Chains A and B, each alone.
Chain A
């Protein structure tokens, strides 16, 4: 997997808004995909790992879906809160040990 694209690059929303962003990756030789949450001045932390086409994962107000046939994953945040402000990275992985990180979507939630 060489080319991972995340959109939008940044997003400004109001508290209470729901939002979503996209991760696109080449669908060939797909093995798994991780979403990470990266707060400013901290380290990335894993949110979800997904492996199967059609996978849906949920953690509180955050959920993610995976389409391996067309090569995309969506991350949804329902009712955004200021503490959701962070960069969200997607990291698809082909077979083997190499994970490629996308550039991330930077989310700003205004109170």
Chain B
């Protein structure tokens, strides 16, 4: 049983297209994240949802839009894809709570997006 799953694992698409990456966690966690692994291999936070509410929204182009239909899912939709969007995108989840308690993040396998 995969704890945090992402689909697809690989995504190759043309510039200008719109695409989505899906993430699901079966851990019962409250908080989910999207990270982008940039060209220097840094993990950069993009978005985070806690109980379906957007709580972190970093400076990313508004072509990127997260959607959380329920606590177990956090999808990432990207409009008008650009060459610079090529990267590996990781989804993660954790059992964070508003009282500040803090557990480790569990990561999905990543989605390698290539924009041609």
Contact = CB atoms under 8 A, between A and B. Distances in A.
A97 B51 CA distance: 12
Interface residues of A, number: 23
Given A43-B90, A43-B108, A98-B48, A93 B43 contact: no
B55 interface: yes
Give the interface size bracket for B toward A.
20 to 34
A43 B102 contact: no
A89 B43 contact: yes
A95 B101 CA distance: 9
B43 A98 contact: no
A32 B100 CA distance: 10
A44 B102 contact: no
A101 interface: yes
B102 A93 contact: yes
Interface string A64-98: 00000000000000000000000101000101111
A106 B107 CA distance: 19
A31 B102 contact: yes
Contacts of A31: 100, 102
Given A44-B107, A49-B103, A103-B40, A98 B45 contact: yes
A20 interface: no
B31 interface: yes
B105 interface: yes
B102 A98 contact: no
Contacts of A43: 4, 90, 107-110
B100 A101 contact: no
Interface string B72-90: 0000000000000000001
A97 B90 contact: no
Contacts of A34: 104-105
A95 B102 CA distance: 10
Q: 9 closest pairs, A vs B, by CB? A: A46-B104, A43-B107, A101-B43, A32-B102, A44-B107, A97-B55, A97-B48, A97-B96, A34-B104
